[in-house]
Amino acid sequence: MRVLLSTYGTRGDVEPLVALAVRLQALDVQVRMCVPPDEEFARRLESLGIPVVPAGPPVRELMRGPTPPSAGELSRYRDELVAAQFGILPTAAEGCDALVAAGLGQIAARSVAEAAGLQYVYVSYSAVNLPSPHHAPPPRTGWPEPPVSDHRTLWEMDAHNVNTQFAEALNHHRASMGLPPVDNVRDHVYSGRPWLAADPVLGPCPETPGFDVVQTGAWTLPDERPLPAELVAFLDAGAPPVYVGFGSMRPSPDIGHTAVEAIRAQGRRILVSRGWADLELVDERDDVFAMGEVNHQRLFARVAAVVHHGGAGTTLTAARAGVPQVVIPLPVSDNPYWAGRVADLDVGVALLGPAPTVESLSVAFDTALAPETQARARALGARLRTDGATVAAARLVGALR
């Protein structure tokens, strides 16, 4: 039995599929993964014995530019990605029984599976990506923000925007493969039975008319890597610090300085994760420690709170560790959604709107570090599941057999 897993994005997009791949391998399934060509993804997969099929332009190159890409640049980038997928996925899928695609950017995946007669599974990591009258679509970078607030109208406009970007190219390729055209690209990619790889407590699935959603739980793996000795020494030297990190996102340039100042005002020590944004230290005082990529599962168990951008993976890891969160979401993708979930569950604070100031962050920390918030965060952590990837792997294998 062979399965092709395909996604395009940052580490937060790739790691859940890595977890599924490992669980499938444990069931004697041969797996290969189609991911961006960035070197860190290749190293990660090769270390697990997972064959890598690179597709599309490097992600880090896009995320680390001095200025955000323009709408025109993003449109060309998306067109390039679709062309790369139709050029690479058919060969990558040869000999496979199923194709699992994560993310709306996987425009070619269902057509490739259809042409080859493979089982197709679309997976989302956040419920906000699935059309529902209970929430608006997530912000899509480079596309216009609609001047309405009705959820149904917003989803209709979202489908129109996706069609405008992708329909012509998708249907051109489908015609060349002998497949009929589609009139709703977004719902075509999602399929009628999408999977939701999110924890049912942290990110429950609302009503989604027209879709039979399968919620498996979040796809993660235990991380057994030790923390660097220098970091352990810093942690051991005083009270639990507050973690600040924005992963692969590019926050406002002064956010690191603002956060450090606000945390110091609380009398707390600080951990700064440089991330893809290369956050800089304010100074060299001994109450702050800068670090690169480390094991968040081990680290978050030793911090007082986590300040982050609202990525699905970071939100989940902090929640499982039972620590409060202060989320400063960028207005992209599912970041605002996860910020809202942290606020709704009362395990932290969501700072939406203008860039945070020392004053607004100080108020947020007063709430996040309060004993009652800490108690709710610990209680939530005990309720979250850890078997989502195992459930998904068993479900897929069962369907194929």
Nearest to 200 by CA among 10, 393, 391, 396: 391
Number of DSSP helices (H) and strands (E) in the chain, helices first: 15, 13
pLDDT for 247 equals 77
Q: Is the dihedral of CA 332, 333, 338, 344 positive or negative?
A: positive
pLDDT for 63 equals 65
Integer Cα distance of 10 and 147 in angstroms: 30
**Quick one: 119 exposed, middle or buried, by C-beta within 10 A (0-12, 13-18, 19+)?**
middle
Low-confidence residues in the chain, pLDDT < 70: 63-68, 248-251, 253, 276-282
pLDDT for 243 equals 97
Those residues with Cβ within 8 angstroms of residue 290's Cβ, 6 or more apart along the chain or in another chain: 272, 273, 274, 279, 281
Nearest to 6 by CA among 78, 104, 83, 79: 104
The DSSP code for 143 is: S
Whether residues 267 and 241 fall in one domain? yes
pLDDT per residue over 342-398, tens digit each?
A: 999 999 999 998 889 999 999 999 999 999 999 999 999 999 999 999 999 999 999
**Quick one: 191 exposed, middle or buried, by C-beta within 10 A (0-12, 13-18, 19+)?**
middle
Whether residues 23 and 62 fall in one domain? yes
Whether residues 45 and 151 fall in one domain? yes
What are the backbone dihedrals phi and psi of residue 258, each rounded to the nearest 5 degrees, phi first?
-60, -45
Distances (CA, A) of 272 to 52, 65, 223, 293, 321: 32, 21, 20, 11, 18
Whether residues 71 and 206 fall in one domain? yes
Q: How many domains does the chain have?
A: 2
Q: How many CB atoms lie within 10 A of CB 101?
A: 29
Nearest to 256 by CA among 303, 288, 294: 288
Q: Is the dihedral of CA 122, 198, 59, 254 positive or negative?
A: positive
SS3 78: helix
Whether residues 174 and 39 fall in one domain? yes
pLDDT per residue over 177-196, tens digit each?
A: 999 999 999 999 999 999 99
pLDDT for 66 equals 56
Whether residues 79 and 168 fall in one domain? yes
Kindly write down the DSSP assignment for every residue of 261-310, as one continuous string: HHHHHTT--EEEE-TTTTPPPS---TTEEEE-S--HHHHHTT-SEEEE--
Integer Cα distance of 134 and 155 in angstroms: 11
How many residues in total does the chain contain? 401
Task: Give Cα 117 to chain centroid, integer Å.
Answer: 29
CA angle 323, 327, 333 (to 5 degrees): 125
The residue type of 289 is F
Assess contact for 205 and 196: CB atoms under 8 A. yes
Joined together, the tokens standing for residue 259 give: 């956060």
Whether residues 353 and 283 fall in one domain? yes
Distances (CA, A) of 39 to 53, 54, 264: 12, 10, 36
Nearest to 30 by CA among 83, 93, 106, 114: 93
Integer Cα distance of 112 and 182 in angstroms: 14
Whether residues 92 and 121 fall in one domain? yes
Whether residues 248 and 131 fall in one domain? no
Whether residues 20 and 128 fall in one domain? yes
Residue 6 belongs to domain with CATH number: 3.40.50.2000
Assess contact for 246 and 258: CB atoms under 8 A. no
Whether residues 192 and 302 fall in one domain? no
Joined together, the tokens standing for residue 187 give: 């719902």
What are the backbone dihedrals phi and psi of residue 109, each rounded to the nearest 5 degrees, phi first?
-60, -45
Q: How many CB atoms lie within 10 A of CB 382?
A: 8
Q: Which residue has the tokens 């993708």?
A: 333
Whether residues 284 and 201 fall in one domain? no
358-363-366-368 Cα dihedral, nearest 10 degrees: -90
pLDDT per residue over 69-111, tens digit each?
A: 777 888 888 889 999 999 999 999 999 999 999 999 999 999 9
Assess contact for 237 and 302: CB atoms under 8 A. no
Which residue range forms the structural domain that includes residue 338?
A: 229-381
Half-sphere exposure for 159 (CA within 13 Å, toward CB): 17
Assess contact for 104 and 189: CB atoms under 8 A. yes
pLDDT for 277 equals 61
